[in-house]
Amino acid sequence: MAGGTRRGGWRARRRVLLPEHRPAPLPGGSPGPGSVRRERNPGGDPGGGTPGPVRSLAFDGNSPRLSDLQSVNTAIAGRPVPGSGTGPCVDLHMHSTASDGTVAPADVARAVAEAGLDGFSLTDHDTTQGLAEAETAARALGLRFLPGAELSANEPGRSVHLLAYGFDVADPGLQTFLSRYREDRLRRAREIVERLQAAGARVTWEAVELQAGAAAPTRAHVGRAVVACGAVADINEAFRRYLSRGRPAFVGKEPTPPSVVFDCVHAAGGVVCLAHPGRTHGEDDVRRWASEGLDGVEVVHPANPPAVQSRMNALAGELGLLRCGGSDWHGPDTGRRGVPGWAHVPTRWLEEIRRRSCRRADRQPA
């Protein structure tokens, strides 16, 4: 589709964001379609170990478009997605530089278009800052767009990530709630840096600010700063040695029960789905939170193995919950498995979320 005419007369640009890794071998041992050429980030480590400033990647004639990677995505998944069929697909879990992603919100929209998807939701952590830019780009590209955010909650001993969709971005209560998240992220990041320094890791607050840019700093930004300062080889080592729960520099977030997030998002006209339940949450959690106001569950996610997908799909049907899913894409240079289009999430899931959020807000679907 790239290079041709898209909806609304838009002509695809010769520019795309591609995954960092080479495509996985397809079944039978055949190589993936083409090879990925990465442009070196100016200002980064010449050896590729330290990320420099974020920039888009360009294509050459030998590199595949993201749409060409759909067969690779299928091979990675290795299984059909519940209810996906072969119709139009969307991605309802994506991140940008508004939080801990590595590409701008508009470039997320371009990656979605190049992947041949029908639409997407930008779900940055605890912020709505990238939504206006993403929606503008989506409209220009003829894509469906659903406002989103991945909001942080917690219970004793564990984090709970919640995907909020379809809310009124300008809702004063929601924005006040998000401003508290930002203040807590700043407090937390500063304390993490202090603990890292006490543990002997060479890292500075200025290095974290450089990685975060205008976004509220996350552990991912701190991890990239630790890499940039030469204390570890890569971000996985930074989390393994310092940043994960139980490690020397781990700092918890302010207590926020899931029910508080449900109430805030509902008041703003949105709905809330449990993110990646395959990591730490089971059926009992979903049932309890559904009784408190949870609207849906992320059936499809790179962290959800087939058995979890099947259970969550069945549980959503039993409890009348919405279904969502996505790649959890953070950009081409983050080493994560999912890429845009990986999940083959049917467009009707997006529309079902939109309809329910519109009913809650007493407004007509756009």
On the CB side of 242, CA atoms within 13 Å amount to: 31
Question: Do 274 and 314 fall into the same domain?
Answer: yes
CA 250 to chain centre: 22
Per-residue pLDDT, 365: 58
The one-character DSSP state at 143 is: -
C-alpha distances in Å from residue 126, one per residue of 107, 108, 175, 229: 20, 18, 10, 27
CATH number, domain of 204, equals 1.10.150
On the CB side of 118, CA atoms within 13 Å amount to: 14
**Quick check: 33 pLDDT over 70?**
no
Question: Do 166 and 182 fall into the same domain?
Answer: no
Q: Does residue 249 form part of some domain? A: no
- Written as six digits, the tokens of 50 are 């330290």
CA 38 to chain centre: 21
Mean local confidence (pLDDT), 49-60: 30
CA-based radius of gyration for the chain: 20
Mean local confidence (pLDDT), 13-36: 28
- Written as six digits, the tokens of 1 are 């589709």
Question: Do 167 and 182 fall into the same domain?
Answer: no
Torsions phi, psi of 58, nearest 5? Answer: -105, 160
145: β partners: 120
Question: Do 262 and 239 fall into the same domain?
Answer: no
- Written as six digits, the tokens of 190 are 């500063």
Per-residue pLDDT, 364: 56
User: pLDDT tens-digit profile of 321-345?
Assistant: 999 999 999 998 666 667 898 888 9
In whole angstroms, give the CA distance from residue 364 to residue 366: 6
Residues with Cβ within 8 Å of 229's Cβ and at least 6 positions away in sequence, in order, are: 201, 202, 203, 204, 207
How many other CB atoms are found less than 10 A from the CB of residue 212?
22
Per-residue pLDDT, 366: 53
**Quick check: 42 pLDDT over 60?**
no
Per-residue pLDDT, 257: 96
Q: Where are the alpha helices (DSSP H) in the chain?
A: 70-77, 105-114, 131-141, 172-198, 205-212, 219-228, 235-238, 258-267, 283-292, 306-319, 347-361
Q: Does residue 248 form part of some domain? A: no
Question: Do 262 and 328 fall into the same domain?
Answer: yes
CB 2 within 8 A of CB 12: yes
Question: Do 230 and 270 fall into the same domain?
Answer: no
CA 346 to chain centre: 17
Q: Does residue 118 form part of some domain? A: yes
User: pLDDT tens-digit profile of 187-238?
Assistant: 999 999 999 999 999 899 999 999 988 888 888 889 999 999 988 999 889 9
Q: Does residue 366 form part of some domain? A: no
pLDDT band at 86 (very low <50, low <70, confident <90, very high): low
Question: Do 147 and 221 fall into the same domain?
Answer: no
CB 170 within 8 A of CB 178: no
Q: Does residue 39 form part of some domain? A: yes
Domain finish residue from 243, 265, 294: 243
- Per the structure, the count of domains in the chain is 2
Domain finish residue from 196, 211, 243: 243
**Quick check: 101 pLDDT over 60?**
yes
In whole angstroms, give the CA distance from residue 360 to residue 25: 45
Q: Which domain holds residue 228?
A: 178-243
Domain finish residue from 196, 212, 243: 243
CATH number, domain of 114, equals 3.20.20.140
CB 226 within 8 A of CB 203: yes
pLDDT band at 255 (very low <50, low <70, confident <90, very high): confident
Question: Do 218 and 335 fall into the same domain?
Answer: no
**Quick check: 37 pLDDT over 70?**
no
Average pLDDT, the chain: 79
Q: Does residue 289 form part of some domain? A: yes
Q: Does residue 250 form part of some domain? A: no
Question: Do 110 and 24 fall into the same domain?
Answer: yes
Of 17, 123, 22, 20, nearest in space to 75 by CA: 22
Question: Do 12 and 85 fall into the same domain?
Answer: yes
Question: Do 353 and 298 fall into the same domain?
Answer: yes
Question: Do 123 and 40 fall into the same domain?
Answer: yes
In whole angstroms, give the CA distance from residue 20 to residue 18: 6
Q: Does residue 46 form part of some domain? A: yes
Mean local confidence (pLDDT), 38-49: 29
User: pLDDT tens-digit profile of 135-178?
Assistant: 999 999 999 999 999 999 999 888 999 999 999 999 999 999 99
